[in-house]
Amino acid sequence: MMTERIRSMRERVLTARPSLSPERLLLVTEAYKEFAGEAAPVFRARVFAYVLDHMKVVIRDGELLVGCANEKIRSASIFPEYTGQWLLKKNEEGVLGLDRLPVRPNDPLDVAPEDRDVIYETMKWWMGKSTEEASEAFLTPEVQEARKSGILSIGGRAIASGKTVPDYALVFQRGLKGYIELCRQKIAEQVEAGVDIDVQPKLDFWNACIISAEGMIRYANRYAELAGQMAQEETNPQRKQELQEISRICGKVPENPPETFYEGLQFMWFLYHGLYIETNASANGFGRFDEYMGLLYEKDAAAGSITREFAEELISCMFLKSMELIMLRPDDYSRDFAGYPLWQILMLGGVDRYGKDITNEVTRMTLDVSSCLKLSQPAVALRVHDGTPKDIWRKGCEMIQDGQANPAFFGDQSSLKIVQAKGGTLEEAREWIILGCVEPHPGMGGTDGSPYGGYVNLPKCLELVLHGGIDPMTGKPLGPAVDIQALKTFDDVMDAVKMEIRHWYDIIHKGFNQIVAYHCTRIPCVYSSMLLEGCIEKGKAVQEGGANHTYSGIFCTGPASLADAMMAVKQMVYDQKKLSMDELVKALDANFEGYERLRLELLNKVPKFGNDIEEVDSICREIIGYAADYVQTMHDPRHGRYCFCNQAQTVSVTMGYKVGATADGRLAHTPLSDNAGPMMGRDVEGPTATVNSMGRNMCQTKLFDGTLMNLRFDPSGVAGEKGLEIIESVIREYVQHDGQHIQINVVDDKTLRAAQKNPENYRNILVRVAGYMAYFTELDKSVQDAIIARTAHLAS
């Protein structure tokens, strides 16, 4: 049940307009000028500590958990060392990015009049100093041309490594004081053994960790002091007592280990939102929340020192705090990842390192809180397996049936196989965690999985093949030349497409490696590295390969669109010989104008991926399997491994702009297929057929960074008890056939269309976009239309 406190706080966060804050920009500018000349890790640690020491600490009305990245709710910080210079650049209409920001179609941010000039003047000092600008200079012309064409994207240009998920239980045991002591011990041992040029970088890193940890402790103590002052002035006895308790807890954690559920939650929140103060990284996760918080709750409950109602209120406060965090993205990033996502994944369920189900009362309370609050963040990831309790299955399915789009379901069976295949031990595999939105990685706190290395636009690979290596959008050569006359068989076409795939992943590999190397030497992430196992032991940040496991994700866009188009080429040109390749290309170049009859035949007479048809499913499987096998032989500059992920976020919309008409009947410049799933509206044989194509027919365990599947039901098709059975049976069928991830929207077209017309009446509609949720009315219309276009299944 939602208390009045939580109801008021929820309304406060949901009515807050996303905005831009100048605070961090001003503080980091001061710090850069003051500490310039230090070794890179020490310098970055001093900048982090300076921001923590000088940013305004705020305790909002009614809060039980404290710690804010900005004074305003849902206010984005500026990280000029990574990006933001575009705010001072004009577009073709002569409008500054700073002035476009409040009115841009994707993820607009208000800029207060009193902040606008401050941001403008301060950003002048940063011109030419960001990684985004540096990458434009050192990435080769071939890479830059490929990016402009829409064949690929290169990640990391405007963001940090991110995806930090420490072993919270281990950090709880040590407290930040324990990390300081460990670093001091490492320094003393190394000095005793002798220092040379190979050792000095380690000493710098350990000193930087100490500076970062001490800065976070001082930051918490500032909250302790503020809460104490507020308690002295408070006249309401209940609120006075709450503030006194906040003061006590903030004076204890995160310096020292937590001993109660309340202390543990505040400890975790300090650690977590500190990651968003250090860098502009995204996809930092809460890890296996019920596993590490369950131990503290059970201890308190046994002692009678906490009630279930108060524990749920504390969890609700944590959910609401996570909603406060948003991120400033350049215009292109905001289009590719629409809906203010941060991929804040909170995991529940699954087994422990010994194979025993971990479900506990915190699992149940957290699902209840999520169901009650209906927020877009955090996104709940429910691990399911044969031993998952029936009530947990039912609760998750009830939430889906209710249209909450939460939780997403992850199959333990496939994720365990993936994690072991990519190098995790059995214990690490059982403790697997998500880094990002669906990417399974070894658990136990020793894994760094960098943000995306980049995307390859798969349908454009075929487009280039059919045009002999010429981009029809520009008329210029792009990538390897192709002899169209040599395409005598469908196998020849497949080989040519694979050649394109290899080439463009090679280009991403080269470009992303340059960017990560630049990060390593200029802006290492010290605080987040300290929290990951292996970094202190090696004396290296994550950008240097310090974590026990290092991976970089690499992705694709439009696999089903490509498979459907390839199937059309196979059937119409080679098998049935209904038209020549030249005739097909001519129709595509005309965007089917004058060829509507052919387009309808391509749409309706050629099998489509997502209907459990082996012939077309096998094409998709071959393409994805080939790409994964190729990519996963590559290594990143940290000597980590590239891992292939079949997901596209909303890149499928933006990359679709750069692809002409395709042989599946799709019109030019429209969205590509949705993430790993079928092209929207093409899976017409029911949800069971769709999950069979995705699960049984796709060999997902070969994809080391997972597979993102969206499914949509019409509410009328899954109503009542029978509807719950349908939802559960579809999910069970999928995960039993090694399906790794599935997320379900239950909403009808009529409601979504009404929300487009009258957004003020539908602000609480949540939808799963990709590995994250968003409020439907906060999405750009092109993304909204792509979601509406997803097949709304009625039942099997």
For 349-392, the pLDDT digits (tens) are 999 999 999 999 999 999 999 999 999 999 999 999 999 999 99
The pair of three-digit structure tokens given for residue 16, joined into one six-digit string:
């807050």
Backbone CA torsion sign across 47, 49, 55, 59: positive
> Is-cis flag, bond preceding 407, omega within 30?
yes
Radius of gyration for the alpha carbons in the chain, expressed in angstroms and rounded: 26
Place of tokens 């005598």: 488
CB 726 within 8 A of CB 424: no
* Domains annotated on the chain, with CATH: 139-159+445-707 (3.20.70.20), 338-444+709-796 (no CATH)
pLDDT at 709: 96
Query: 473-479: which pairs have CB atoms within 8 A and are 24 or more residues apart?
Result: 473/149, 473/150, 473/658, 473/660, 474/149, 476/145, 478/145, 478/146, 478/149, 478/151, 479/146, 479/151, 479/503, 479/504
Comparing CA positions, the residue from 705, 771, 708 lying closest to residue 553 is 705
Q: What is the pLDDT of residues 435-480, one digit of tens each?
A: 999 999 999 999 998 768 999 999 999 999 999 999 999 999 999 9
Give 336's pLDDT tier (boundaries 50, 70, 90).
Answer: confident
Percentage above 70 pLDDT, the chain: 100
Q: How many whole angstroms separate alpha carbon 424 and alpha carbon 440?
A: 11
Position 507, amino acid: I
Q: What is the mean pLDDT of the chain?
A: 96
**Inter-residue contact 211 to 42 (CB < 8 Å):** yes
- Return the pLDDT at 87: 97
* pLDDT tier, 311 (very low <50, low <70, confident <90, very high otherwise): very high
Interatomic CA distance for residues 573 and 588, integer angstroms: 14
- For residue 246, name the pLDDT band (cuts at 50, 70, 90): very high
Euclidean distance between CA atoms 382 and 370, whole angstroms: 12
Beta-bridged to residue 556, according to DSSP, are 456
Q: Do 473 and 660 touch, CB atoms closer than 8 A? A: yes
Bridge partners, residue 34, by sequence: none
Going by pLDDT thresholds of 50, 70 and 90, the confidence category of residue 288 is: very high
pLDDT at 637: 86
Q: What is the 3-state secondary structure (H, E, C) of 241-278?
A: HHHHHHHHHHCCCCCCCCCCHHHHHHHHHHHHHHHHHH
458 closest CA partner among 10, 42, 165, 153: 153
Q: What is the mean pLDDT of residues 401-420?
A: 97
What's the pLDDT score for residue 281? Answer: 86
**From CA 319, how far away is CA 321, in angstroms rounded?**
5
Which helix (DSSP H) or strand (DSSP E) does residue 471 occupy?
strand 470-471
Is the pLDDT at 142 greater than 80, yes or no? yes
Q: Which of 250-259, 444-453, 685-694 has the highest mean pLDDT?
A: 250-259
Q: What would the mean pLDDT of 689-699 be, rounded to a whole number? A: 90
pLDDT over threshold 60, residue 796: no
Please determine, for residue 304, whether its predicted confidence score (pLDDT) is greater than 90: yes
Q: What is the DSSP letter of 677?
A: S
Quick check: pTM over 0.95?
A: yes
Question: SS3 for 411?
Answer: strand
Q: Given pLDDT bands bounded at 50, 70 and 90, which one contains residue 227?
A: very high
